[in-house]
Amino acid sequence: MTTGTGSEQLGTRSRGRPPKRIALLGATGSIGRSTVDLLMRDPEGYSVAAIAGGRDHAALARTALALKAEFVAIRDEDAYAALKEALSGTNIQVAAGREAVIEAATREADLVVSAIVGAAGVEPTHAALTLGRVVALANKECLVCAGAPFMRTAHDKKARLLPIDSEHNAIFQALGGEDVSRIEKMTITASGGPFRTWTREAIEAATVEQALNHPNWAMGPKNTIDSASLMNKGLELIEAHHIFAVPAEKLDVIVHPQSIVHGLVSFSDGSVTAGLARPDMRVPIAHCLAYPERIETPAPRLDLVALGALTFEKPDLGRFPALGLALDALREGGGLPTVLNAANEIAVEAFLSGRIGFAGIAREVEKALEAALKDGTAREPSTVEDALDIDHIVRERSRGALAMNQASGMLTLQ
């Protein structure tokens, strides 16, 4: 096999087989860009049926041209004219709005890569599942917001979910097709984020710039803040519960600052398997793109001797209360994970815009969970639409509470 960069590096799929057709949702985000990098390295192994993005029409147009995409959808209808103009003179079809993104997700494809950040990715991803597609899932909200309905659809339509998140992908590979009934524990790892060694007081006073300074991973702002609060690990445990049909009591998280071991599976005979790799999202993305085969990637190779040591520690729920809230939501179930996710998105937005302090994220989420338990909003969602209704209610209530506190002068940056 040839190694190199760009189109010189070919994957095994490009030899003697028709190209695998890809639909890429969230093409301009961090996962999307890494996926594009891999697709560009094997242009004969993959063709791009559709791509979709949010509002960055310039980046979306560049990506469409580079991938020779057949169809491009942008969620922001106000960006349609600029995207259309940027792609004039090509054969690329252009559309805008919510329905356009759903169309991108449901175009004929062998694999749909779901990398839209936030609840906006739930509806198009579910639409792909209803057609029995294979979906490579990077969107946490699909399973945190609507896990049970999602998995029912996947089962009923004989669709398949392949996990892109590095932790879930590592567990998927470490499982090796074993029956989950033989599992004693599934463990995902956390880097600990930028505040791993900080005191509680220092964490509570952290600035946006400090929270965005992740030591190991390059991610979008929302995911980076979730990593700083360790909320991302709680969301990932909820995902794992649904992906692998493992009860909450068999799920665990440990802090591993080197981000080399991404997930571990402990079996009933005492053996443990683990997925290891350098922290580069192109590794799990490549696994999903080529599955059940393998393709080469430019990701740096793991050298354990050079690393010398790997360390592990328990997460401190006192310093990272967001993780504790997520663990409680996982154990209680019902609609609490849906509430947790929606409230967290609004709280993170408020922190990034300077309206609350870092400690305010967990506090706002906790208030939303308490309110939902009191008024019945935390009911078990029976369908994806039901989950999205709960999500909408919680978002509006959280926004309203933040605006009311700010207007009355009660909101502080503590």
Left, alpha or beta for 177 (phi > 0: left; psi -120 to 50: alpha)?
left
| Per-residue confidence (pLDDT) for residue 409, from 0 to 100 | 64
In the beta sheet, which residues pair with residue 161? 135
Which strands, in side-by-side order, build the sheet including 46-53?
Answer: 93-96, 71-74, 46-53, 20-25, 111-114, 134-137, 160-163
d(CA 296, CA 41): 9
pTM over 0.95: no
pLDDT at 72: 98
Dihedral (Cα; 114, 245, 192, 37), 10-degree rounding: -30
Q: For 21-69, where are the alpha helices, taking DSSP H only?
A: 30-41, 57-67
- Check the CA dihedral 328-332-333-335 and report its sign: negative
Quote the pLDDT of residue 216: 80
Question: pLDDT by residue for the chain (414 residues), tens digit each?
Answer: 223 333 334 444 445 679 999 999 999 999 999 999 999 999 999 999 999 999 999 999 999 999 999 999 999 999 999 999 999 999 999 999 999 999 999 999 999 999 998 888 999 999 999 999 999 999 988 999 999 999 999 999 999 999 999 999 999 999 998 988 899 999 999 999 999 999 999 999 999 999 999 888 777 888 899 999 999 999 999 999 999 999 999 999 999 999 999 999 999 999 999 999 999 999 999 999 999 999 999 999 999 999 999 999 999 999 999 999 999 999 999 999 999 999 999 999 999 999 999 999 999 999 999 999 999 999 999 999 999 999 999 999 999 999 887 776 654 444
Nearest to 45 by CA among 75, 11, 2, 80: 11
Rounded CA-CA distance 31/38 in Å is: 11
Q: What is the DSSP letter of 12?
A: G
Which positions ≥6 away from 118 have C-beta within 8 Å?
139, 141, 222, 345
Which run of H or E residues covers position 235? helix 231-243
- Which residue bears the tokens 């663990």? 327
Here the contacts of 403-408 (C-beta below 8 Å, separation 24 or greater) are: 406/355
SS3 210: helix
Distance from C-alpha of 242 to C-alpha of 338, rounded to nearest angstrom? 13
Pairing status of strand 71-74 against strand 160-163: unpaired
The span from the CA of 219 to the CA of 257, in Å, is: 16
CA 347 – CA 340 distance, rounded (Å): 10
Cβ atoms within 10 Å, residue 210: 15
Residue 74 pLDDT:
98
What is residue 15's predicted lDDT score, i.e. its pLDDT?
A: 57
SS3 content of the chain, % helix, strand, coil (to 5): 50, 15, 35
Question: Residue 294 phi/psi, 5° resolution?
Answer: -130, 145
CA pair distance 265, 178, nearest whole angstrom: 10
